[in-house]
Amino acid sequence: MTPVPAEAAKNTKNVTVSRGPFEVAGFLAGAVESGMRYSGRLDLALICAQDPAGCAASGVFTRNFFCAAPVELCRERLEKHRARAILANAGIANACTGGEGKIRAIEMARIASDALGCPADSVLVSSTGVIGMQVDLDPVARCMPRLIHSLRPDG
């Protein structure tokens, strides 16, 4: 296991978390440092089904009336109960960002789907971090080739 820094609760104090290999048959995973909010941290991750048709998918979401754009997007996309991948970022939550936040969540999924060669509506998005900030799409687009290259069964 490898110790990695992680945000603790609602502050930016680093803690050490044991990270073992990701090993789920039929899936690939990878992560890169995009610099979306901090430098020197793995903050952009992708998990995808090896089957181009995707896999069965479901989700558990907040019941809060004020849910983030990625939650809204995933709720809609999971109505068909299938997905190919999930793109996750850390540092910016894309919450309380209005219509622009939803547009950016959709665009994050499109960037990943283009790189994977799958339909955009088969990619889910998850974001965690600071509330009220828009996700910067430039690091997502810039780092996507590296992220795709990082995918492996033990990601």
pLDDT band at 18 (very low <50, low <70, confident <90, very high): low
Contact 108, 141 (CB under 8 A): no
In a domain, 16, yes or no: no
* Residue 151 neighbours by CB distance under 10 Å: 18
In a domain, 155, yes or no: no
Contact 128, 2 (CB under 8 A): no
Q: Whole domain around residue 63: which residue ranges?
A: 24-150
More confident residue, 78 or 63: 78
Instruction: Report how many domains make up the chain.
Output: 1
pTM of the model: 0.85
In a domain, 52, yes or no: yes
CA-to-CA distance for 61 and 119, rounded, in angstroms? 23
DSSP string for residues in 61-72: ----SS--HHHH
In a domain, 5, yes or no: no
Contact 140, 33 (CB under 8 A): no
- Residue 62 is part of a domain; what is its CATH number? 3.60.70.12
